């Protein structure tokens, strides 16, 4: 069984798709994020694949790095670790909006349990430091974002 004691389990495929889907679902279900990011069509603007023409503010959930093989995670248990990056995106002048959205993201995700196929348990934690704010000039005007990295572990 994956995630058990002893030798590394044979795990085919990546845990990233499952983890990213669950992070998007957790963020879309959070009351504070619903209040802050529901658009006029009633959609909570948390995306893995951003629809064309989406206007900020929104959260972009991006899959990061993943261990290439199961690793020993203590007490003889093996598992996998990956990173998920959440970008608050804003057109607000300054960092106030992305900082507030970043705080909501941390509150919604920090130490949340996840369910990853073939593993006994999984969870997610913030992996500081928070990235610096980045300004980009895009169609429709400038937008600002900040990188928030979370580390998910399944064992």
Whether residue 6 lies inside any domain: the answer is no
Residue 140 lies in a domain: yes
Q: State the pLDDT at residue 11.
A: 55
Domain CATH number, residue 57: 3.30.2000.30
Does a structural domain hold residue 1?
A: no
Q: Give the pLDDT score at 155.
A: 78
Report the pLDDT value the prediction gives residue 139, as an integer from 0 to 100: 66
The pLDDT, as a whole number, for residue 4 is 45
What pTM was estimated for this model as a whole? 0.83
Per-residue pLDDT, 126: 84
Domain of 24, in residue numbers: 16-154
Residue 110 inside a domain? The answer is yes
Instruction: Tell me, yes or no, whether 53 lies in a domain.
Output: yes
Structural domains counted in the chain: 1
Q: DSSP assignment of the chain, as one string? A: -TT-BSSPP---S-SHHHHHHHHHHHHHH-HHHHHHHB-TTS-B-EESSPPTTPPSSEEEEEEEEE-SS-EE-STTBEEEEEEEEEEEEE-SSSSHHHHHHHHHHHHHHTTEEE--TT-S-EEEEE-SPPPPEEEEEETTEEEEEE-EEEEEEE-
In a domain, 3, yes or no: no
Decide if 2 is inside a domain.
no
Which parts of the chain sit beneath pLDDT 70?
1-12, 68-77, 129-130, 138-140
């Amino acid at each position: 069984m994956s995630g058990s004691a002893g030798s590394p389990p044979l795990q085919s495929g990546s845990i990233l798709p499952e983890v990213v889907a669950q992070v998007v679902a957790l963020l879309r279900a959070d009351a504070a994020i619903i209040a802050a990011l529901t658009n006029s069509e009633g959609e909570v603007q948390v995306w893995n694949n951003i629809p064309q023409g989406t206007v900020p503010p929104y959260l972009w959930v991006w899959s990061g790095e993943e261990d290439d093989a199961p690793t020993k995670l203590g007490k003889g248990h093996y598992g996998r670790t990956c990173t998920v990056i959440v970008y608050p995106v804003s057109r607000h002048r300054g960092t106030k909006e992305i900082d507030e959205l970043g705080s909501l993201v941390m509150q919604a995700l920090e130490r949340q349990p996840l369910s990853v196929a073939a593993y006994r348990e999984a969870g997610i934690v913030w992996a500081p430091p928070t990235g610096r704010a980045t300004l980009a000039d895009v169609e429709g005007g400038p937008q600002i974002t900040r990188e928030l990295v979370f580390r998910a572990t399944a064992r």
